[in-house]
Structure 1
Amino acid sequence: MIRFAELYHALDSTTKTNEKIAAMSSYFAAAPPLDAAWATYFLCGNKLSRLVPNKLLRIWAAEEAAIPDWLFDESYHAVGDLAETLSLVVPPGEMVADESLSTWVEERLQPLRRLDEKTQRERVTEIWRETPSPLRFVVMKLITGAFRVGVSKRLVTRAIAQQSGVSADVVSHRLMGNWKPSKHFFESLVDPDVQDTLASQPYPFCLAHPINVDDGPREIGDASAFVAEWKWDGIRGQVIRRADQTFIWSRGEELMENRWPEIEAAAEHLPDGTVLDGEILAALADGTVLPFAQLQRRIGRKTVGKKLLTEVPVVFHAFDLLEHNGEDIRDQPFDDRRGQLEQLLGDCEHPHLKITELVAGETWDEWAGVRELSRDVNAEGLMLKRKDAPYDVGRVRGTWWKWKVKPYTIDAVLIYAQKGHGKRASLFTDYTFALWDGDQLVPFAKAYSGLDDKEIRQVDRFVRQNTKDTFGPVRSVTPTLVMELAFEGLQRSKRHKSGVATRFPRILRWRHDKQPEDANQLGELLEMLDD
């Protein structure tokens, strides 16, 4: 466990990619397979579900340190991270034995969830008394479910590949989907025999660059060099048909097994050696695409009942063909791939597998007019793709462009603030905004981004000087500041006091020119929803 804690602090203390990879590679070279599996699990962003309520940890820590609760809470608010506060406030312990990472996780940490409160406290106190501060910090990160360190899954993949000699592509594929840390898993992860990955292996996704909604697309070239498609608001994925098997991968590198039975059934009609890129959409039999809120009803469900299958049917809208008859055709121009896709899906008619239609138009002005109708068809705007471009890996400038519609905007009043996390742990950066409903302010959205560092410090100072009340970490402030918020979509919600949930809310600008009474009414937001 000491080696894992040292790895954490080594990764946390550098911003250099090569140093991070070297540190992880060194750890994997020395760690037993089960420890390496758990380390991979945590470094890739997975966490243990919270094992002990944070409230109890705070109470026990204050008593262990012999300080009043209010002093612990003030320390926590100053530090901004519970695990770090626990490692600093509770007196350091003495290391009894250096047990392995897997022993810690499987025999000391995971069992905590099943214990009664009295026994939980005994075990946690025992951990505190047996760990010096640097080790305790990492252990408490695991217990609180807040473990994260500055490495991406891609860097972890590169480190394992460097240490094992297995291709990074193969390691990346094996890390996709749902897997559990085990000795067998890690040994399979670094197995030089790559035959297991061939049938289900997806291709890296081609990603689009955004077009400035105010400037438009003229700077990217002549319209005649492009085709346009609707930019759908669904789940990006690849449908793979190989060896008489179907695999559906998300852009987030998740193997979505048994989630979309209609699409899996449709894919059985595809010939072996086919890989499609496209979007999973909630859509009716007549082709009407439903709002993303409907698709959300099916996201995350392990199994889908008959009622939901009927109410929210899904369709895979294919917009590219990456593999045809077992041949990788990504290097071919888009026009050629599109022609083969049209022929392929023309021979394979199925209601849950469709080709995304091209949007008619020959000039930027024509497409600009069509783009204004995006919300009418539950699209986010247009995708623009060069006719002569290959299917690139990642976000390569010039291949694909996304030309989204302008977001919804509204002026709202800041009413609550909370401190952020990480580098912003000492500043109030998480805000709740409200709109007027008669003479009452009704909260409707939270926003965390959009202000620059100078503005954040100004708002932080305002919050400290204008706090009306405190609810744990949240401060209620005098309604004074008005901000213009932007968001991508709206949907009705019984869980929100306003009756509306906003999608991707963020701050566009601080409206210094407006007083709180100038902010918008809740009714105006509801009108946007009705429109």
Structure 2
Amino acid sequence: MRNFADLIKTLDSTNKTTIKVEALTQYFLQASPEDKVWTIAILSHRRPSRPVNTTLLRLWANELANIPMWLFEESYHIVGDLAETIALIIPTTKEYSDKSLTEFLQEIIALKKKTEEEKKAYLQLNWLALNYYERFVFTKLITGSFRVGVSQKLMTRALSKAENVDEDILAYKLMGNWDPNKITFQELILDEKSSDYLSKPYPFYLAYPIEGEVGNLGNSDEWSIEHKWDGIRSQTIIREDEIFVWSRGEELVTDKYPEFQSLLGIVPNGTVIDAEILAFPNGEIGTFNDLQKRIGRKTISAKLLETNPVILKAYDILEWEGRDIRNQTYEYRRKILEKLVEDVKDKNLPFYLSERDTITSWDEVAAERMLAREKRSEGLMIKRTNSTYQVGRKKGDWWKWKLEPLVIDAVLTYAMRGSGRRSNLFTDYTFALWQENEVGEKELVTFAKAYSGLTDAEFRKVDDFIKKNTLEKFGPVRSVTPQLVFEIGFEGIALSKRHKSGVATRFPRILRWRQDKKIAEANTIEDLKSMII
């Protein structure tokens, strides 16, 4: 554990990629095979589930610290992170633990089935046997919310250097539904097994946002365009009469979308399709809000399948007739995909082609982009016709040109402290718009939360205003005198019964502080609803 905690401390203390990769490389060269597997799992978001709720963690840590609970809570609000607060308030002792990362994680997994008294004894014993940073990392693992500023790509690069295995091969090996508690490092990284191939997806190729003028990409006749659909990026794999559906987040979601079983026996074995899962109510593309009614459901009822069907909107094919064709050109792959969709179009499958257009001018591309919301997309994908299908986010061949966000002026009404380096500032905001109530009076109704978009200097000014203009406190939340107006941008909008405003916005964020506007000039809920297409 000490070596792993030292690694996390190094990773957290720098923004330099070279330092992070070197620290990871050295760790992989020295760590035990078991700890390597768990480190890979943690850094690729395969963490054990939380064995203890946060209320109990607070109580038991506070008991060791021997301070009033109100002081613990105030400290937590200032620090902004529960694990860090616990690590700070518990006194460091002369006790010492030489247990490995693997031993700790196996104990944490076993802890879930223990009694409360056993959990309390285990936590307090280990908190006292660890130094500050070990205690912080240990508690992060307990809470199940372990996050560190390292992408899986950086981790893969370091692992490649340490083990002398090609990065792309490693990226492929780390995809899929493997269990760090059951697989060895030899099996995960070093061995080649044909049985692993059956359900494994390929690493996704990701686009870069357009920077500057789209015409800077060069000759338009070297490119094709497609719409950038607002759903769940996925790979659908059909091999040996089985189907596997993976999300881009490396989650196996086959059971969530039973309608895709109809592809079996019609789409040939040895096929992997890169597609977007989209809501398809009433035979047309729905909103992301429609899709959310399917996301996270443990069981998919017949009624839900009827009212909220989904489709695959396919835009690439990565494997055909059992052959990996990612090294073929986009043009070559598209022709295979287009013929496949054409061949099965009379089979009544939830399988549609994401149409592409060859282009003659960038003005034509700009005009098509303006139709995106009407077509229920986020903008355009611009792909070089002779490009191969690569791994990860790489500049040059695939670009995304999203629409400018929808914009509305809203009033700040509530605030919470931020996290990390902003944990001492109020930076998480709730915004409201005007609406007439039953007696004809105008009132502010909350509609969205946002916590990004201002400069550090602006955050400090708003924080100062909030502290001087707090009306009420609700735990960590403060209600604020309605006085500040902000321009809020968001990607999409839909009616929603779950929200007080009756509207759900997608990816809300602060665009600018409208210091030139008074709250009477802020927009209304009706203005917001008028943006729904």
Q: How does 1:334-413 map to 2 (within 5 A)?
A: 334-349=330-345, 350=347, 351-358=349-356, 362-413=360-411
Number of residue pairs aligned between Structure 1 and Structure 2 = 526
1:453 matched to 2:449? The reply is no
Whole-Å separation in 1 of the counterparts to 2:290 and 2:139: 38
Aligned residue for 1:431?
429
Contact kept in structure 2, 1:34 and 1:183, CA below 8 Å? no
Aligned residue for 2:188?
189
Contact kept in structure 1, 2:49 and 2:144, CA below 8 Å? yes
Instruction: Name the SS of the counterpart of 2:206 in structure 1.
Output: coil
1:468 matched to 2:471? The reply is yes
1:289 is aligned, of 267, 285, 292, to: 285
**1:207-265 CA deviation, whole Å, 9 max, x = no partner?**
333347xx763443454444332222112223333455443333333343333333243
TM-score (norm 2): 0.88
Cα 1:186–1:258 change in 2 (3 A) is: farther
Aligned residue for 2:151?
152
Deviation of the 1:432 alpha carbon: 0.7
Amino acid at match of 1:9: K
1:309 matched to 2:305? The reply is yes
Aligned residue for 1:481?
484
Aligned residue for 1:240?
237
Contact kept in structure 1, 2:311 and 2:351, CA below 8 Å? yes
Aligned residue for 1:318?
314
**1:392-429 CA deviation, whole Å, 9 max, x = no partner?**
44444453333333322110011111111112222221
1:257 matched to 2:244? The reply is no
Whole-Å separation in 2 of the counterparts to 1:528 and 1:417: 26
Aligned residue for 1:76?
76
Cα 1:122–1:442 change in 2 (3 A) is: same
Instruction: Name the SS of the counterpart of 2:382 in structure 1.
Output: strand
Aligned residue for 2:412?
414
**1:268-313 CA deviation, whole Å, 9 max, x = no partner?**
4233443332222222585x21222222222234553322222222
Contact kept in structure 2, 1:246 and 1:268, CA below 8 Å? no
- Of the structure 1 ranges 320-329 and 454-463, higher mean CA displacement relative to structure 2 is found in 320-329
Aligned residue for 2:512?
509
Whole-Å separation in 2 of the counterparts to 1:210 and 1:129: 48
Percent of paired sites with the same residue: 48
Contact kept in structure 1, 2:270 and 2:321, CA below 8 Å? yes
Instruction: Name the SS of the counterpart of 2:10 in structure 1.
Output: helix
Instruction: Name the SS of the counterpart of 2:344 in structure 1.
Output: coil
Contact kept in structure 2, 1:392 and 1:399, CA below 8 Å? no
1:522 matched to 2:525? The reply is yes
Contact kept in structure 2, 1:240 and 1:247, CA below 8 Å? yes
Contact kept in structure 1, 2:223 and 2:358, CA below 8 Å? no
Cα 1:203–1:444 change in 2 (3 A) is: same
Contact kept in structure 1, 2:483 and 2:519, CA below 8 Å? yes
TM-score (norm 1): 0.88
Whole-Å separation in 1 of the counterparts to 2:352 and 2:239: 19
Contact kept in structure 1, 2:238 and 2:244, CA below 8 Å? yes
Whole-Å separation in 1 of the counterparts to 2:64 and 2:181: 35
Cα 1:157–1:194 change in 2 (3 A) is: farther
Contact kept in structure 2, 1:450 and 1:509, CA below 8 Å? yes
Cα 1:399–1:133 change in 2 (3 A) is: closer
Whole-Å separation in 1 of the counterparts to 2:18 and 2:58: 38
Amino acid at match of 2:498: R
- Of the structure 1 ranges 473-482 and 272-281, higher mean CA displacement relative to structure 2 is found in 272-281
Aligned residue for 1:279?
276
Contact kept in structure 1, 2:279 and 2:287, CA below 8 Å? yes
- Of the structure 1 ranges 44-53 and 145-154, higher mean CA displacement relative to structure 2 is found in 44-53
- Give ranges in structure 1 of 5+ residues lacking alignment: none
1:495 matched to 2:492? The reply is no
Cα 1:355–1:173 change in 2 (3 A) is: same
Aligned residue for 1:100?
100
Amino acid at match of 1:52: V
Contact kept in structure 1, 2:153 and 2:392, CA below 8 Å? no
2:227 is aligned, of 217, 222, 230, to: 230
**1:452-506 CA deviation, whole Å, 9 max, x = no partner?**
2221222122222222222222222211110010111122333322122110001
Contact kept in structure 2, 1:128 and 1:136, CA below 8 Å? yes
Cα 1:517–1:114 change in 2 (3 A) is: farther
Deviation of the 1:27 alpha carbon: 3.9
Whole-Å separation in 2 of the counterparts to 1:392 and 1:123: 46
Aligned residue for 1:207?
206
**1:426-467 CA deviation, whole Å, 9 max, x = no partner?**
222111111112332111100111112221222122222222
Query: What is the aligned-residue RMSD (CA, Å)?
Result: 3.0
Deviation of the 1:516 alpha carbon: 1.3
Contact kept in structure 1, 2:77 and 2:476, CA below 8 Å? yes
Whole-Å separation in 2 of the counterparts to 1:396 and 1:135: 36
Aligned residue for 1:52?
52
Amino acid at match of 2:273: L
**1:181-228 CA deviation, whole Å, 9 max, x = no partner?**
22534331133325344444444433333347xx76344345444433
Instruction: Name the SS of the counterpart of 2:356 in structure 1.
Output: coil
- Give ranges in structure 2 of 5+ residues lacking alignment: 437-441
Whole-Å separation in 2 of the counterparts to 1:59 and 1:326: 56
- Of the structure 1 ranges 261-270 and 442-451, higher mean CA displacement relative to structure 2 is found in 261-270
Contact kept in structure 2, 1:34 and 1:182, CA below 8 Å? no
**1:77-122 CA deviation, whole Å, 9 max, x = no partner?**
3333222222222221332542233332333x34554455555444
Amino acid at match of 2:408: I
